[in-house]
Amino acid sequence: MIESLNLTPPVIIKPNWGFSVIFTEADILDWTLTAIDDDALVVESYGWARCREAVEEKKYGTVTREALQKADKWFLRYSGIDRVLEKHGVEYLNITEEVWAGRTVEQGTIQSIVEDSYSPLYEKKLASFVPERLYDLSDGTLLNLAKLKFMGGDIVVSLTLKNLFGMIPGPDRKDFHGDMNRAMNPSIVDMNKIYRSLFRTRGVVEGVLTVSKGMTLEPHVFMNEGVLWTCEDTLELDAVVTRHVGLNPTEVGHLRLAALNFGEWDEEPIAQAAEHTLSQFC
Protein backbone atom coordinates (compact mmCIF):
# COMPACT_ATOMS: atom_id res chain seq x y z
CA MET A 1 0.00 0.00 0.00
CA ILE A 2 2.94 2.35 0.65
CA GLU A 3 4.32 1.59 -2.80
CA SER A 4 0.96 2.49 -4.38
CA LEU A 5 1.32 6.08 -3.16
CA ASN A 6 4.14 6.73 -5.68
CA LEU A 7 6.28 8.69 -3.25
CA THR A 8 8.87 11.07 -4.70
CA PRO A 9 12.13 11.03 -2.75
CA PRO A 10 13.34 12.36 -0.47
CA VAL A 11 10.48 11.12 1.72
CA ILE A 12 9.87 12.98 4.97
CA ILE A 13 8.08 10.63 7.38
CA LYS A 14 6.02 12.10 10.21
CA PRO A 15 5.06 9.26 12.59
CA ASN A 16 2.92 9.67 15.71
CA TRP A 17 5.15 9.64 18.78
CA GLY A 18 3.15 11.91 21.05
CA PHE A 19 2.78 9.35 23.87
CA SER A 20 5.11 6.57 24.93
CA VAL A 21 2.04 4.46 25.84
CA ILE A 22 0.67 4.54 22.26
CA PHE A 23 2.79 5.39 19.22
CA THR A 24 3.87 4.41 15.71
CA GLU A 25 5.75 1.23 16.51
CA ALA A 26 9.20 0.14 15.35
CA ASP A 27 7.73 -2.60 13.14
CA ILE A 28 5.45 -0.12 11.38
CA LEU A 29 8.35 2.22 10.69
CA ASP A 30 10.55 -0.69 9.59
CA TRP A 31 7.96 -1.91 7.06
CA THR A 32 7.41 1.66 5.83
CA LEU A 33 11.12 2.29 5.27
CA THR A 34 11.47 -1.09 3.56
CA ALA A 35 8.65 -0.16 1.17
CA ILE A 36 10.15 3.26 0.44
CA ASP A 37 13.68 1.89 -0.10
CA ASP A 38 14.99 5.37 -0.93
CA ASP A 39 16.13 8.61 0.69
CA ALA A 40 14.07 9.23 3.82
CA LEU A 41 14.08 11.38 6.93
CA VAL A 42 11.96 10.83 10.07
CA VAL A 43 10.70 13.96 11.86
CA GLU A 44 8.98 14.57 15.18
CA SER A 45 9.01 17.17 17.95
CA TYR A 46 9.32 16.83 21.72
CA GLY A 47 6.34 15.81 23.84
CA TRP A 48 6.12 15.67 27.62
CA ALA A 49 4.28 12.34 27.48
CA ARG A 50 6.97 10.58 25.43
CA CYS A 51 9.00 9.52 28.42
CA ARG A 52 9.70 6.72 30.88
CA GLU A 53 7.44 8.31 33.52
CA ALA A 54 4.39 8.01 31.26
CA VAL A 55 4.89 4.24 31.02
CA GLU A 56 6.06 3.44 34.54
CA GLU A 57 4.44 6.13 36.70
CA LYS A 58 1.51 7.32 34.55
CA LYS A 59 2.64 10.94 34.69
CA TYR A 60 4.21 13.51 32.41
CA GLY A 61 7.94 13.99 32.32
CA THR A 62 10.09 17.01 33.14
CA VAL A 63 10.26 19.62 30.41
CA THR A 64 13.75 21.06 30.72
CA ARG A 65 15.79 20.73 27.54
CA GLU A 66 18.17 18.25 29.16
CA ALA A 67 15.29 16.10 30.44
CA LEU A 68 13.57 16.12 27.04
CA GLN A 69 16.78 15.09 25.28
CA LYS A 70 17.24 12.26 27.77
CA ALA A 71 13.60 11.17 27.38
CA ASP A 72 13.92 11.18 23.59
CA LYS A 73 16.94 8.87 23.73
CA TRP A 74 15.10 6.64 26.20
CA PHE A 75 12.05 6.45 23.91
CA LEU A 76 14.03 5.50 20.81
CA ARG A 77 15.78 2.75 22.77
CA TYR A 78 12.63 1.58 24.62
CA SER A 79 10.58 1.39 21.42
CA GLY A 80 13.30 -0.26 19.33
CA ILE A 81 13.03 2.57 16.83
CA ASP A 82 16.74 3.38 17.24
CA ARG A 83 17.57 -0.04 15.79
CA VAL A 84 15.18 0.47 12.85
CA LEU A 85 16.75 3.84 12.03
CA GLU A 86 20.21 2.30 12.18
CA LYS A 87 19.13 -0.67 10.04
CA HIS A 88 17.91 1.61 7.24
CA GLY A 89 20.55 4.31 7.67
CA VAL A 90 17.83 6.91 8.22
CA GLU A 91 18.18 10.08 10.28
CA TYR A 92 15.68 11.33 12.86
CA LEU A 93 15.32 15.14 12.89
CA ASN A 94 13.84 16.68 16.03
CA ILE A 95 11.75 19.73 15.07
CA THR A 96 11.98 21.29 18.54
CA GLU A 97 15.77 21.19 18.58
CA GLU A 98 15.88 22.83 15.15
CA VAL A 99 13.59 25.64 16.31
CA TRP A 100 15.51 26.16 19.56
CA ALA A 101 18.75 26.35 17.59
CA GLY A 102 17.26 28.97 15.26
CA ARG A 103 17.67 26.80 12.17
CA THR A 104 14.31 27.85 10.71
CA VAL A 105 13.03 29.59 7.59
CA GLU A 106 12.02 33.24 7.87
CA GLN A 107 8.36 33.48 8.87
CA GLY A 108 7.40 35.84 6.03
CA THR A 109 8.80 33.42 3.43
CA ILE A 110 6.54 30.61 4.64
CA GLN A 111 3.52 32.90 4.90
CA SER A 112 4.04 34.01 1.31
CA ILE A 113 4.32 30.41 0.07
CA VAL A 114 1.14 29.43 1.92
CA GLU A 115 -0.79 32.41 0.56
CA ASP A 116 0.12 31.45 -2.99
CA SER A 117 -2.22 28.47 -2.58
CA TYR A 118 -4.47 29.09 0.43
CA SER A 119 -6.06 31.78 2.54
CA PRO A 120 -3.75 33.38 5.16
CA LEU A 121 -2.84 31.41 8.26
CA TYR A 122 -5.12 31.82 11.25
CA GLU A 123 -2.05 31.90 13.53
CA LYS A 124 0.87 33.55 11.73
CA LYS A 125 3.44 32.41 14.32
CA LEU A 126 3.14 28.83 13.08
CA ALA A 127 4.96 29.90 9.92
CA SER A 128 8.10 30.48 12.02
CA PHE A 129 8.49 26.78 12.93
CA VAL A 130 9.65 25.29 9.61
CA PRO A 131 13.22 23.95 9.87
CA GLU A 132 15.61 24.97 7.11
CA ARG A 133 16.48 21.31 6.67
CA LEU A 134 12.90 20.45 5.69
CA TYR A 135 12.54 23.50 3.48
CA ASP A 136 15.61 22.40 1.55
CA LEU A 137 13.94 19.01 0.90
CA SER A 138 10.61 20.40 -0.27
CA ASP A 139 10.89 18.86 -3.73
CA GLY A 140 10.16 15.53 -2.03
CA THR A 141 7.11 13.95 -0.36
CA LEU A 142 5.75 14.27 3.16
CA LEU A 143 4.39 10.89 4.24
CA ASN A 144 1.96 11.53 7.06
CA LEU A 145 2.13 8.22 8.97
CA ALA A 146 -0.71 8.56 11.47
CA LYS A 147 -1.95 6.29 14.25
CA LEU A 148 -5.71 5.71 14.62
CA LYS A 149 -6.63 7.27 17.95
CA PHE A 150 -10.07 8.05 19.35
CA MET A 151 -9.66 11.22 21.41
CA GLY A 152 -13.17 12.18 22.47
CA GLY A 153 -13.98 15.73 23.54
CA ASP A 154 -13.38 18.53 21.03
CA ILE A 155 -10.80 16.65 18.98
CA VAL A 156 -12.98 13.52 18.51
CA VAL A 157 -10.47 11.51 16.46
CA SER A 158 -6.76 11.86 15.66
CA LEU A 159 -5.74 10.94 12.11
CA THR A 160 -3.42 12.50 9.51
CA LEU A 161 -4.52 16.14 9.77
CA LYS A 162 -4.22 16.09 13.56
CA ASN A 163 -0.86 14.30 13.26
CA LEU A 164 0.69 17.47 11.79
CA PHE A 165 -0.19 19.37 14.97
CA GLY A 166 2.83 17.46 16.28
CA MET A 167 5.04 19.47 13.92
CA ILE A 168 4.58 22.40 16.30
CA PRO A 169 7.70 22.34 18.45
CA GLY A 170 6.64 20.99 21.84
CA PRO A 171 6.53 20.19 24.57
CA ASP A 172 4.23 23.11 25.41
CA ARG A 173 1.62 23.81 22.73
CA LYS A 174 -0.96 25.47 25.00
CA ASP A 175 -1.07 28.65 22.91
CA PHE A 176 -2.17 26.56 19.93
CA HIS A 177 -4.72 24.63 21.95
CA GLY A 178 -6.21 27.82 23.35
CA ASP A 179 -8.80 28.02 26.10
CA MET A 180 -11.03 24.95 26.00
CA ASN A 181 -9.16 23.86 22.81
CA ARG A 182 -10.75 26.73 20.84
CA ALA A 183 -7.53 27.40 18.90
CA MET A 184 -6.82 23.78 18.10
CA ASN A 185 -8.90 23.30 14.95
CA PRO A 186 -7.43 26.36 13.16
CA SER A 187 -3.94 25.39 14.34
CA ILE A 188 -4.36 21.91 12.86
CA VAL A 189 -5.53 23.39 9.56
CA ASP A 190 -2.68 25.92 9.56
CA MET A 191 -0.05 23.20 9.93
CA ASN A 192 -1.61 21.34 7.03
CA LYS A 193 -1.65 24.52 4.93
CA ILE A 194 2.06 24.97 5.59
CA TYR A 195 3.15 21.43 4.76
CA ARG A 196 0.73 21.02 1.84
CA SER A 197 2.30 24.20 0.41
CA LEU A 198 5.84 22.87 0.80
CA PHE A 199 5.49 19.17 -0.06
CA ARG A 200 3.54 16.62 -2.00
CA THR A 201 1.64 15.12 0.92
CA ARG A 202 0.46 11.53 1.18
CA GLY A 203 -1.37 9.87 4.04
CA VAL A 204 -1.46 6.63 5.98
CA VAL A 205 -3.76 5.89 8.91
CA GLU A 206 -2.82 2.67 10.62
CA GLY A 207 -4.06 0.54 13.46
CA VAL A 208 -2.15 -2.58 12.51
CA LEU A 209 -0.76 -3.41 15.94
CA THR A 210 -2.49 -0.91 18.23
CA VAL A 211 -5.34 1.61 18.29
CA SER A 212 -6.18 3.76 21.31
CA LYS A 213 -9.24 5.35 22.86
CA GLY A 214 -8.95 8.15 25.39
CA MET A 215 -6.65 11.12 25.98
CA THR A 216 -5.20 10.08 29.33
CA LEU A 217 -1.86 8.44 30.06
CA GLU A 218 -3.79 5.20 30.49
CA PRO A 219 -5.89 4.96 27.30
CA HIS A 220 -7.80 1.86 26.35
CA VAL A 221 -5.68 0.11 23.74
CA PHE A 222 -7.13 -2.18 21.07
CA MET A 223 -4.52 -4.80 20.12
CA ASN A 224 -3.74 -6.33 16.73
CA GLU A 225 -6.67 -4.83 14.83
CA GLY A 226 -4.83 -5.05 11.51
CA VAL A 227 -6.46 -1.98 9.92
CA LEU A 228 -4.72 0.30 7.45
CA TRP A 229 -5.83 3.02 5.03
CA THR A 230 -3.81 5.06 2.52
CA CYS A 231 -4.67 7.93 0.19
CA GLU A 232 -2.96 10.70 -1.74
CA ASP A 233 -5.33 13.27 -0.20
CA THR A 234 -5.13 13.42 3.58
CA LEU A 235 -8.45 15.23 4.09
CA GLU A 236 -10.40 12.66 2.11
CA LEU A 237 -8.48 9.90 3.88
CA ASP A 238 -9.42 11.25 7.30
CA ALA A 239 -13.06 11.70 6.31
CA VAL A 240 -13.33 8.12 5.02
CA VAL A 241 -11.58 6.63 8.06
CA THR A 242 -13.76 8.68 10.41
CA ARG A 243 -16.90 7.29 8.77
CA HIS A 244 -15.43 3.78 8.61
CA VAL A 245 -15.02 3.71 12.39
CA GLY A 246 -18.60 4.80 13.01
CA LEU A 247 -18.20 8.57 13.34
CA ASN A 248 -19.56 11.39 11.18
CA PRO A 249 -16.78 13.49 9.59
CA THR A 250 -19.05 16.55 9.42
CA GLU A 251 -19.15 16.49 13.24
CA VAL A 252 -15.34 16.71 13.56
CA GLY A 253 -14.40 20.39 13.80
CA HIS A 254 -10.96 20.27 12.22
CA LEU A 255 -12.27 18.20 9.29
CA ARG A 256 -15.07 20.70 8.63
CA LEU A 257 -12.61 23.59 8.75
CA ALA A 258 -10.12 21.75 6.54
CA ALA A 259 -12.86 21.18 3.94
CA LEU A 260 -13.42 24.94 3.76
CA ASN A 261 -9.72 25.43 3.03
CA PHE A 262 -8.82 22.42 0.89
CA GLY A 263 -12.12 21.60 -0.83
CA GLU A 264 -14.93 19.22 0.06
CA TRP A 265 -14.28 15.49 0.17
CA ASP A 266 -15.94 13.09 -2.26
CA GLU A 267 -19.16 11.82 -0.71
CA GLU A 268 -19.16 8.49 -2.59
CA PRO A 269 -16.35 6.82 -0.59
CA ILE A 270 -17.89 8.28 2.59
CA ALA A 271 -21.16 6.54 1.77
CA GLN A 272 -19.35 3.30 1.00
CA ALA A 273 -17.51 3.51 4.33
CA ALA A 274 -20.82 4.04 6.12
CA GLU A 275 -22.09 0.76 4.67
CA HIS A 276 -19.08 -1.14 6.04
CA THR A 277 -18.34 0.34 9.43
CA LEU A 278 -15.82 -1.49 11.60
CA SER A 279 -18.03 -2.80 14.35
CA GLN A 280 -15.23 -3.25 16.89
CA PHE A 281 -14.83 0.55 17.07
CA CYS A 282 -18.51 1.57 16.97
Domain contains 254: yes
Rounded Cα–Cα distance for residues 239 and 250 (Å): 8
Structural domains counted in the chain: 1
Domain contains 270: yes
Query: What's residue 66's pLDDT?
Result: 96
pLDDT digits (tens, 9 = 90+) for 47-87: 999 999 999 999 999 999 999 999 999 999 999 999 999 99
Give the 3-state secondary structure of residue 143: strand
pLDDT digits (tens, 9 = 90+) for 260-273: 999 999 999 999 99
Please give the share of the chain, as a percent, with pLDDT higher than 90. Answer: 88
- Regarding pTM above 0.85, the answer is yes
Give the 3-state secondary structure of residue 150: strand
Domain contains 162: yes
Within 10 angstroms of residue 18's Cβ, the number of other Cβ atoms is 23
180: left (phi over 0), alpha (psi -120 to 50) or beta: left
Query: What's residue 243's pLDDT?
Result: 97
Residue-averaged pLDDT of the chain: 95
pLDDT band at 183; cut points 50, 70, 90 = confident
Within 10 angstroms of residue 117's Cβ, the number of other Cβ atoms is 11
Domain contains 44: yes
Please give the share of the chain, as a percent, with pLDDT higher than 70. Answer: 99
Rounded Cα–Cα distance for residues 225 and 210 (Å): 7
Q: Which of 82, 237, 256 is nearest to 186 (CA)?
A: 256
Rounded Cα–Cα distance for residues 139 and 8 (Å): 8
pLDDT digits (tens, 9 = 90+) for 201-210: 999 999 999 9
Query: What's residue 254's pLDDT?
Result: 96
Domain contains 166: yes
Give the range of the structural domain holding residue 140, as residue numbers without chain letter.
Answer: 7-281
Residue 152 pLDDT > 90: no
Domain contains 200: yes
Residue range 184-192: mean pLDDT, rounded: 96
Residue 180 pLDDT > 70: no
Residue range 107-116: mean pLDDT, rounded: 98
Give the 3-state secondary structure of residue 125: helix
Domain contains 1: no
Domain contains 2: no
Query: What's residue 282's pLDDT?
Result: 75
Instruction: Compute the 3-state secondary structure of the chain and give helix, strand, coil in percent, each to the nearest 5.
Output: 45, 20, 35
Rounded Cα–Cα distance for residues 106 and 129 (Å): 9
Q: Please give the DSSP secondary-structure letter assigned to residue 48.
A: T
